[in-house]
Amino acid sequence: MADAFLGVERSLTGRRWIGLSLEQDRLAEAMAQQTGLPRPLCATLARLGVQIDEAEGYLTPALRDLLPDPSVLKDMDVAATRVATAVRKKERIAVFADYDVDGGASAALLIVWLRDMGLRATLYIPDRIDEGYGPNAPAMASLAAEHDLVICVDCGTLSHDALAAAVGADVIVLDHHLGGETLPPAIAVVNPNRQDEDGSLAHLCAAGVVFLLLVAVNRLMRAERGVPDLMAMLDLVALATVADVAPLVGVNRALVRQGLKVMAGRQRLGLRILSDVARMDTAPTAYHLGFLLGPRINAGGRIGAADLGARLLSTDQEAEAQALAERLDLLNTERREIETAVREAALMQAEERGLDAPLVWAAGEGWHPGVVGIVAARLKEASNRPAVVIGLEGDEGKGSARSVTGIDLGAQIQRLAAEGLLIKGGGHKMAAGLTVARDQLEPAMARLTEMMEKQGAGLLGPSDLRLDGIMMPAAASVELIELIEQAGPFGAGAAGPRFVFPDQVIKFTKPVGEGHLKISFGDGGPVKLDAIAFGAFNSDLGPTLEAHAGRRFHLAGRVEINTWQGRRSAQLRLEDAALARASV
């Protein structure tokens, strides 16, 4: 095991600090010398696996260089040709979508593109509680009776019986969830996670797959007529990619980077109004997509009308956009209240079973199915273990599962369903959904625990805090932070950089909001830096720093730009701290 960074074996939040590996540190040093780029930026690039000769291209990724040929995906050419035919013949098209952000954004991509081509598509999103995830036979039969083509997005790969009910219409599936051994009855199933795909595009979310389809259709139709500008639609792809926690690597990183630029132009009516309702007053970042916009768009599918998010993202009517945005904002507030109650009950139950088990799980009567996924994520974060949370009602329970790096949860959930312990289940490595009979709950969770133990989940310790290096207050400038941000956007699969300010003196502290702490600090020189620690009083971090008594600390977190009244300054988003050895 590598030595703890700065000797911190247990920080104020209970974590071990881990720095760059020896190889990464050497690469960062050589990169800084050969390129002239700042050492903190080189450290981040080295940790992300970027080589010296790749640095320049990585900092300025070109989508045209990274976007794959859509035809590399199986069934893509069939799907594109069928959509082009439907447009030429002005056929009746329905879009069946999942109720989350990825499903809503995927549906909006198709609806907006088809509208620009002169067609009005029918949107259908199933109710989470009444219909559950994915296509169902009654809905597909009804849509097929009224339409020539039904396009399923972000769902459908495992829906054999439901798709078979779509008699009289062609069905196309555009999905990214793990496929089974056989494909459903559709004229095309475009999915980078089909079992017969090579996995090179497995990181795409459904909106990324839809975008590639539209690239392929545009290519087919460009010669005969004008086609929509797909670059202007990348805001939707970026939103879905971040909200679905898809890895920000390869083409995903380029899609999100370009999509953020498109979103900054505020041309999409629904996103512009939702940004204003959410009080977003700076240029959008991946953080805004994941924590401000995404939860609000999701709120409709979680506890409201399932189609609200997709309608907001696709509408071209200002009054409708304003009403939808305000309703989603209110639903998101209600969702947070429901989530808090379920989270507290689930955590208490999971703690009784033991947060050190290979699988952390909880199930409760009447827990709202719209929040169990969020609560599962919270249990995962609290335990550094795969987690499952299930809401029970009647003879069944509907739940969501979230995993940790290195533990493939989706495949095991699918295996449980194949073994008959689940009514149904599926997903991908990091997230999955499931339905279980009440009398099979305990056996199913026992079997899943056994599967997780075989993957090593029971051996996981507290989550380490990984750090890119040291920084001093005088070096933390707006200019340096802007350079580091060129290595982003950061998120799943490409964690943002964290730095340590070593041996610092706390100059000022002030509790703010609900459990947060503001501080300013310095190393004894003339420069001091402000910091904000969110949720600081949920651990020893807040109380210890507030009662610092002149002791010196190593302070760790992410450097960011704070904008206040038009003034931009460097700030540390403080995540952890440890007593400096001189103060121990």
Distance CA 199, CA 497 (A): 27
Q: Give yes or no for residue 211 having a pLDDT over 90.
A: yes
pLDDT digits (tens, 9 = 90+) for 386-441: 999 999 999 999 999 999 988 999 899 999 999 999 999 988 888 899 999 999 99
What order do you get walking across the sheet with 93-97 strand by strand?
122-124, 93-97, 149-153, 170-174, 188-190
Percent of the chain whose predicted confidence (pLDDT) is above 90: 87
pLDDT digits (tens, 9 = 90+) for 349-373: 999 999 889 999 999 999 998 999 9
pLDDT digits (tens, 9 = 90+) for 466-514: 999 999 999 999 999 999 999 999 998 899 999 999 999 999 999 999 8
Mean pLDDT of 260-272: 98
* Sign of the four-CA dihedral 344, 346, 352, 357: negative
Distance CA 9, CA 579 (A): 11
Nearest to 504 by CA among 414, 389, 394, 582: 582
Q: Give yes or no for residue 460 having a pLDDT over 90.
A: no
Distance CA 520, CA 78 (A): 60
- Average pLDDT taken over every residue of the chain: 94
3 state SS of 553: strand
What is the value of pTM for the model shown? 0.90
Q: DSSP for 64-90? A: HHHPPPGGGSTTHHHHHHHHHHHHHTT
